Amino acid sequence: MSSDKLSEKYELSQAKTLLVVQPHPDDAEIGAGGTIAKLSDAGSSVFYVTVTDGSMGTLDKTLSPEELARKRMKEQEDAMRLLGVRENRWLGWKDSEVTPSQHLRNQIMRIIREVRPDVVITVDPWLPYEAHPDHRHVGMMASEAALLAKFPLIGSEHAKEGLNAFSVPAVAYMITANPNTFVDVTNTFERKLKAVQAHVSQFGDDWTTYRSLLTSHAEKNARKAGRTGGLFEAFKVLRPAQLHVNDDAENE
Ligand code: ZN
């Protein structure tokens, strides 16, 4: 049921203000780093929301969760600087413990009403076989927040801070199995790699392998986009109107 003009395909490359909602420090760089660098180079403003502190992302038993969280905060800032991201809001959820709650939806909705983005980028909560709860729950709560932010009676307490209801033009899902949009990131791919590499606690052990995985993934996206060369990132871009009572969203 998406007959209004808001169901027209949204052009991700036209976005002037982007809000990227990521479960952990590093998801945005992995899923959309090349696109973020490309759009921020073109003058767009990019804001992040990082839901968890990343404090469980290690196999090293000698590291405390607090130490790791501090390390990852610094790594995230380094990565953002490389991509030209303006600002990051940490929501402070414990890594691996995100619940699909009205509280989280409301936290994200409040920031949507403040930043008023052209597009909300988040992880695809409908990714088949996604076993990490933080990814499923953050993707879903960000989708719900984007869908419902236009209703003033939902999260009405935001109005007391002067934050009014806002109709989000589009949601772009990164790390998706069902893309409908491919962004040529050939020119910013090296910076994407540097931004991923900035997450030393996650990729420091075997960067050569991670580098080649990310590169072959970007080449695979190029083939999916029908190109014979270049490096691409893939997204499923939908209008909020397509995210409700729509039995054809998979094909749109
Ligand atoms: Zn993650």
One pLDDT digit (tens) per residue for the chain, 252 residues: 444 455 688 999 999 999 999 999 999 999 999 999 999 999 999 999 999 999 999 998 899 999 999 999 999 999 999 999 999 999 999 999 999 999 999 999 999 999 999 999 999 999 999 999 999 999 999 999 999 999 999 999 999 999 999 999 999 999 999 999 999 999 999 999 999 999 999 999 899 999 999 999 999 999 999 999 999 999 999 999 999 999 999 999
Q: Are 223 and 155 in contact (CB under 8 A)?
A: no
Give the strands of the sheet with 119-123, arranged side by side.
87-93, 45-52, 17-22, 119-123, 170-174, 232-238, 181-184
Q: What is the reported pLDDT for 8? A: 80
Q: What is the whole-number distance in angstroms between the Cα of residue 96 and the centre of ligand 1? A: 9
| Residues forming a β-bridge with 121 | 20, 172
Residue 62 counted as domain residue: yes
Do the Cβ atoms of 104 and 141 come closer than 8 Å? yes
Which residues touch 250 (CB under 8 Å, ≥6 apart)?
178
Find the CATH number of the domain harbouring 66.
3.40.50.10320
Query: What pTM, to 2 d.p., does this model score?
Result: 0.96
Domain that holds residue 105: 16-242
Distance 50 CA to ligand 1 centre (A): 10
Q: Cα(28)–Cα(223) distance, rounded to whole angstroms?
A: 22
- Own/partner contacts of 214-222, CB < 8 Å, gap of 24 or more, are 214/30, 215/189, 218/34, 218/185, 218/189, 221/179, 221/182, 222/182
Q: Report the C-alpha gap between 146 and 165 in whole angstroms.
A: 11
141 Cα–ligand 1 center, Å:
15
On whether the CB atoms of residues 75 and 90 are closer than 8 A, the answer is no
Give me the pLDDT at residue 5, please: 54
| CA of 4 relative to ligand 1 center, distance in Å | 34
Ligand 1 (single-atom ion) residues, CB below 5 Å: 23-24, 27
Could you give the number of structural domains in the chain?
Answer: 1
Distance from residue 27's CA to the centre of ligand 1 (Å): 5
Domain presence at residue 188:
yes
Note whether residue 9 is domain-resident.
no
State the residue for tokens 């931004």: 195
24 CA → ligand 1 middle, Å: 5
Q: What is the pLDDT of residue 2?
A: 43
pLDDT at 82: 98
pLDDT, tens digit (0-9, with 9 covering 90-100), for 174-220? 999 999 999 999 999 999 999 999 999 999 989 999 999 999 999 99
Q: What spacing in Å lies between the alpha carbon of 58 and ligand 1's midpoint?
A: 12
